[in-house]
Structure 1
Amino acid sequence: MSSLPPRHPTARHSPTTQRGLKRREALLDAAQRLFLERGFSQVSVNDIVAEAGGSLSTLYRHFGNKEGLFQAMVERRSHHVYATLTGDDIDELPVEAALIRFGTSLLHKAMDDEALGIYREVVAESPRQPELARRFFDAGPGRMRRVVTDYLDRRIADGRLPHGDTAELAGMYLGMVLGEWHLIQLLQLEAPPSARAIDDRVERCAALFLSGLLARQP
């Protein structure tokens, strides 16, 4: 049984006017600020509306409830990353170059302060609200894995990679990229790595992953 409150009956209507879009963005901006400052459990929909302006009915109409607003916030943050990953030219790149694009897009975004803050909030709330964790995973990490899985499926279909369990392989590659660096930053144990260090790490991961994968080819 879900622990989330019921959604408003007019939940998640897409805004159709510029005014509606601006109100929706204002609510998302306010929610992100407050969630990161206070923690998800310490923020109410009334707090978000007071910060953003507008009304509760507007929030309910666009997002359904606080959890729906959180999911939309994650999806918004993720959108430009996935646009890069699914660009028209991705299938024209050499496989290693495509893997590097996937990896650098993921690691640069996963290591920024806002992404780390959201991740910490989800981990803190997941025992009480497992459905929130599921929504976060589906909108963020799960979506990334699906993008890479689909890419590997296409490379198997065109003969550039050997057959294999592409969902498992995608998870292995993304796990290599994140590795201990992501955990260290979540725990705030070290200063963040430089952009160059991130790029170098992803290049090594892509080379190791691809060489291991091709070594399995008959």
Structure 2
Amino acid sequence: MDGNTPEIKRGRKYDQVIAGARKVFLNQGFEGASVDLIAKEAGVSKATLYSYFPDKRILFIEVAKRECAAQADRALQVDATDIPVREMLTTMSYKMMEFLTSTFAQRIFRICVAESDRFPELGREFYASGPKLLEDRLSQYFEHAVERGELKIDDVGLAAMQFQELVKSEIFVKMIFNIIEKPTQAEVDRVIKGAVDMFLARYGA
């Protein structure tokens, strides 16, 4: 963590606190998630909660980081060496889309943007645990695919960010601005096929 964020204490009730906070943040949002409510949901005292997380922002950052890390793991948990690039990209895209269109991800994004001016560490931590983590994981996969001769990429970091943006096309933006509540399966299929087709048209070997 950066210099503005205190070191987080770990202990036997840490996971309990995180699980309770996740549920409350999901149901109530950041502003509506009171310390009393989080402590009650987690089954701990306020004193115990504060001993782990003296600031609600720090707790939110930790919940968001764990959720984003889990999403990155889910998106890239397939053995890349055994799967053709198109199939791998398509599989990753569906897992990314599942997270991006979840209520939790939408709320995380809105909260981080809304609070980023007052609490810049919130945005930095979210970026590091979300887009940057996924960029690093995608870059590693792309490097292997380049070595196998399946992709031709000079800047894998840029390609990783471009692929994320392709998957976010249309649906994510419309959800963020409440144009749509949830995409249909046909809309998801259309965006993902377009993302993979465009990416391979540019970087396919």
Taking structure 2 as the reference length, what is the TM-score of the superposition? 0.84
Q: Which has the larger displacement, 198-207 or 169-178?
A: 198-207
Tell me the equivalent position of 1:7.
6
Q: Structure 1 pair 97/61, CA: closer, same or farther in 2 (3 Å)?
A: farther
Structure 1 regions of 5+ residues with no counterpart?
A: none
Which amino acid is the alignment partner of residue 116 of structure 1? Q
SS in 1 for 2:179: coil
Taking structure 1 as the reference length, what is the TM-score of the superposition? 0.79
Matching of residue 178 in structure 1 with residue 143 in structure 2: no
Q: Deviations along 1:57-114, whole A, 9 cap, x unmatched? A: 5335545643332222123323443333332522211011111122111112111122
Q: Structure 1 pair 154/64, CA: closer, same or farther in 2 (3 Å)?
A: farther
Q: Deviations along 1:20-52, whole A, 9 cap, x unmatched? A: 2xx434422432344345543564545532443
Q: Which has the larger displacement, 172-181 or 155-164?
A: 155-164
The equivalent position to 1:77 in structure 2, one of 67, 82, 86, is: 67
Q: Name the structure, 1 or 2, with higher relative contact order (CA <8 Å, separation 6+).
A: 1
State the identity as a percent: 25
Deviation at 1:131, TM superposition (A): 0.6
Tell me the equivalent position of 2:14.
24
Structure 2 regions of 5+ residues with no counterpart?
A: none
Matching of residue 104 in structure 1 with residue 94 in structure 2: yes
Contact 1:100 1:202 in 2 (8 A): yes
SS in 1 for 2:169: helix
Tell me how large the CA RMSD over aligned residues is.
2.7
**Number of residue pairs aligned between Structure 1 and Structure 2:** 204
Q: Which has the larger displacement, 126-135 or 202-211?
A: 202-211
Q: Structure 1 pair 196/62, CA: closer, same or farther in 2 (3 Å)?
A: farther
Deviation at 1:119, TM superposition (A): 1.2
